[in-house]
Amino acid sequence: MTIAKNTICLWYDTDAEAAARFYAETFPDSEVTGVHLAPSDYPSGKAGDVLTVDFTVLGIPCLGLNGGTTFKHSEAFSFQVSTEDQEETDRYWNAIVGNGGEESACGWCRDKWGISWQITPRILMEALAAGGDGAKRAFEAMMEMKKIDVAAIERACRV
C-alpha cells in the first residue's frame, strides 16, 4: 500500500464511495483505489459501514471520509478543472449539474454531495493572466455567466 505524502480529505455524510465512483467515471486520470470499512461503531456509523474511500480526481489523491452531518462543504474549497474548449467545459459541467448538482456563478457549480467545482476554460485563465483591457472585458463577461461561454470570452478579448 502506497500512501501519498499529501492527500485531500473530503468529508461526506455517508456517500463517500458513491461520490468517488462518480468522479472516477467523470474525469480522466481518476479512480477508486480502496474502500475501507469501520472496524467498530463510531458516532455516525456502525462497524462494517464504509468509513473511508481512497480515490484520485484528475491525478490528485483524495480520501473520502463518511463522517456524518457535523461539517458542511463551502466554496472555500473547490476543485478547479481547466478545460480546453466548450465541449469539454460542457461535458464536465453537465455531468456535475445533471447528477443532482447545482449551478452557481462564474464557472462554479456544486455536486450533489456539496463539493464545489470550478469548470474553467483555459482561454479565460489566459485572458485574465494577460491583464489590460482584454482581461477586464473577459472578467466582466465572466461575471455575467454561470457556465463559462468560451465564444463569449473570446469575443470579449478581441473587442
Q: pLDDT by residue (tens digit) across 39-96?
A: 999 998 999 999 999 999 999 999 999 999 999 999 999 999 999 999 999 999 999 9
pLDDT of residue 113: 98
**pLDDT of 132 above 70:** yes
Strand order across the 78-83 sheet: 78-83, 116-121, 108-110, 102-103
**Confidence band, pLDDT 50/70/90 cuts, at residue 1:** low
The Cα-based distances of 49 to 22, 55, 72, 143 in angstroms read: 19, 17, 20, 43
Q: What is the chain's mean pLDDT, rounded? A: 96
What residues form DSSP beta bridges with 60? 57
Residue with the three cell numbers 466554496:
75
pLDDT of residue 3: 79
**pLDDT of 2 above 90:** no
